[in-house]
Amino acid sequence: MKPLRIGTRGSALALWQARTVAERLRQRGATVEIVTISTRGDRRQTESLSDISAEVGKGVFTKEIQEALLRDDVDIAVHSSKDMAAVSPEGLGIAAVLEREDPRDALVLPGAAPTAAFSADLLTAGPRLGTGSPRRVAQLRRLFAGARFEGIRGNVDTRLRKLDEGQTDALVLACAGLRRLGFGHRITAAIPPEQCVPAPGQGIVAIETRTDDRDTIGYVSQLNDSSARTALFAEQTVVAALGGGCQLPLGVYAEGDSSQLRVRAIAASVSGDDVVTGELIGDAAAAVDLGRRLADLLRERGADRLLRS
């Protein structure tokens, strides 16, 4: 069989993900090579992701990789699921996902030792928080009185350096990325999902292929983690039903076991002054239906108005 070409962004985290997938495929007898692809989100580092998304639409960190996949320049695309649109482009589909890493958001303070529990008292009033995520801003504004938000971008180590230099009082990053890159010791406290609902797909690595490439799908499907796949199905269904994207203030998180799934979601105005929430528990085998019903519940409570405000 010809080498499987993995398309990925060139960031440290993206390469960690691609190399992990490559190693697991090699363990199953495949020959693999990694192809680094630059995306709009990578090239336009001085602009906010929300501004780029408003201009080019969904897929700030995925579109160029998916285009390469459709052109047959690569055979596999490896993504952070939270960067993906809820629905893959025609001709592409998720063939497998890896097991989920810690899906929570992390509060990171300069020089602070990890603490056992999250508390808003970890920061003084009116802190400068480094995050440009509308979802995080909307929720954290309700936790930290008078907080000011600064859209710090760049690789994880760059953001940590800016924090340590005093450019901001704290960072809010994904626990998954910090742990995968060996920065788990920098997590001051993980924020419970009840207080800051994670991004849909946060902590899940998705492997996308062409839907007609049966040989590649056969290899890749061996890597699939069923519980993470079920959670992602539910979370992406909520996003798709509400017409949201990765740069909207929408959090969705599913957790459970092989029999039962709990899905919670929050939709907010960008200011965070107005939110609607919802939570449903149901059969894990009906994850897509559960996601649709939760989206309907949020819509009844005004989510459409908030996400388009």
The helix-helix angle for 12-27 and 156-164 (nearest 10°) equals: 140
**How is residue 160 annotated by DSSP?**
H
Cα(120)–Cα(117) distance, integer angstroms = 10
What is the pTM assigned to this prediction? 0.92
Cα(122)–Cα(205) distance, integer angstroms = 31
Cα(192)–Cα(103) distance, integer angstroms = 10
Q: Which of 42, 75, 83, 213 is catalytic?
A: 83
Query: Which pLDDT band holds residue 50 (cuts at 50, 70, 90)?
Result: low
CA distances from 109 to 106, 138, 150, 182, 198 (A): 10, 20, 15, 17, 19
- Domains belonging to the chain, first-starting first, are 1-98+204-224 (3.40.190.10), 105-191 (3.40.190.10), 225-309 (3.30.160.40)
- Asked whether the predicted pLDDT for residue 47 surpasses 90, the reply is no
Instruction: Give me the residue label for tokens 């007609």.
Output: 212
- Write down the pLDDT at residue 244: 63
Mean pLDDT of 291-299: 96
Cα(77)–Cα(68) distance, integer angstroms = 9
- Asked whether the predicted pLDDT for residue 48 surpasses 70, the reply is no
- Write down the pLDDT at residue 246: 52
The helix-helix angle for 226-242 and 287-300 (nearest 10°) equals: 30
Mean pLDDT of 207-234: 97
- Asked whether the predicted pLDDT for residue 127 surpasses 50, the reply is yes
Instruction: Look up 83 and say whether it is catalytic.
Output: yes
Token readout for 80 is 């952070």
- Asked whether the predicted pLDDT for residue 1 surpasses 70, the reply is no
- Write down the pLDDT at residue 52: 43
